[in-house]
Structure 1
Amino acid sequence: MLKQRIQDDVKAAMKAREKQRLGTLRLITAAIKQREVDERIELNDDQVLAILEKMIKQRRDSIAQYQQAGRDELAVQEQSEIEIIQDYMPEGLSTEEINSLIEEAIASSGASAMKDMGKVMGQLKPKMQGRADMGQVSALVKQKLSG
Structure 2
Amino acid sequence: MSFTPYIHFQGNCREAMTRYAEIFGAKLNIITYNDAPEGQTVPRSDRVMHSDILTETGSLLMASDFPEGMEGAPQAAVTISRIVDTEPEGRDVFGQLSEGGTVIVDYGPTYWSQGFGMLKDRFGTHWMVMVATDG
- TM-score normalised by the chain length of structure 2: 0.26
Larger strand fraction of residues: 2
Structure with bigger gyration radius: 1
Larger helix fraction of residues: 1
- TM-score normalised by the chain length of structure 1: 0.25
